[in-house]
Amino acid sequence: MVEPIFDYQFRLILIGDSTVGKSSLLKYFTDGKFSEVCDPTVGVDFYARLLEVEQGVRVKLQLWDTAGQERFRSITRSYYRNSVGVLIVFDLTKRRSYENVDSWLKEARAHIEPYEAVYMVVGQKADLEDQRQVTHREARLYAETNSLRYIETSAFSGHNVEEAFQCLARDIHQKLQDGSIKVEEGWDGVKNGFSRPKESFHVMEGEPEGGGCC
């Protein structure tokens, strides 16, 4: 008899303009703390974490952090196809980064099709309320118009960081259960998990538990 290390593997990609806080968001999610020094991403960086999407169901998230600069876009595009989840991140204090969300969404959809993916718009740096240039209502209406989730986060305070990834992972898992997303040969967006003998199974130190969804 065996128990799973994780049931599924989901591959997620973070996209958006440079300096909006994608790397800080990922580092807080994977390390549990704000990184004071965060160098610009060159090409693509990789992170991973396990989480529970429902009681007894664990997934491994492969998290791909992409560079926002135009000179790296050709590298970024090559990672779209094998992604099942997309977080489109903008900076709440930089309106231009919000105005570019639509072009990021269209580019991602164009490269991921014909595969199904789940998209989320993330307004980063919510702790800088006095510098806000995009209202919650405006961004939420854009997301709703495009049938997307919207959430505001702060990689400085940790506000909604866990919730953002939990929500996206749960939405993917739900689509997997209802059949709109499938494990497919030749596509790395979703893969089945791995198992090991029950007697050697133990809870990983620091493994996150399920949290509230946005």
What confidence tens digit (pLDDT) does each residue in 59-68 have? 999 999 876 4
Query: Is residue 210 in some structural domain?
Result: no
Query: Is residue 27 in some structural domain?
Result: yes
Query: Is residue 78 in some structural domain?
Result: yes
Confidence of residue 90 (pLDDT cuts 50, 70, 90): very high
CA dihedral 40, 45, 49, 52 (to 10 degrees): 90
Q: Give the count of domains, the chain.
A: 1
pLDDT tens-place string over residues 119-174: 999 999 999 999 999 999 999 999 999 999 999 999 999 999 999 999 999 999 99
Give 85's contacts (C-beta < 8 A, 6+ positions apart): 10, 11, 12, 13, 117, 118, 119, 120, 168, 169, 172
In angstroms, the Cα distances linking 214 to 16, 66, 164 are 21, 24, 7
Mean residue pLDDT across the chain: 85
Query: Is residue 149 in some structural domain?
Result: yes
Query: Is residue 20 in some structural domain?
Result: yes
In this prediction, what percent of the chain has a pLDDT beyond 90?
69
Our CA angle for 42, 45, 48, nearest 5°, is 170
pLDDT tens-place string over residues 4-59: 689 999 999 999 998 999 999 999 999 988 765 555 544 567 889 999 999 999 99
Q: Which domain holds residue 181?
A: 8-192
Q: What number is the average pLDDT over the span 180-201?
A: 79
CATH number at residue 125: 3.40.50.300
Query: Is residue 203 in some structural domain?
Result: no
Confidence of residue 205 (pLDDT cuts 50, 70, 90): very low
Question: What is the pTM for the complete model shown?
Answer: 0.83
- Over 90: is that where the pLDDT of 203 sits? no
Query: Is residue 201 in some structural domain?
Result: no
Give residue 54's pLDDT: 92
Confidence of residue 194 (pLDDT cuts 50, 70, 90): confident
175 phi, psi to nearest 5 deg: -70, -30
Query: Is residue 209 in some structural domain?
Result: no
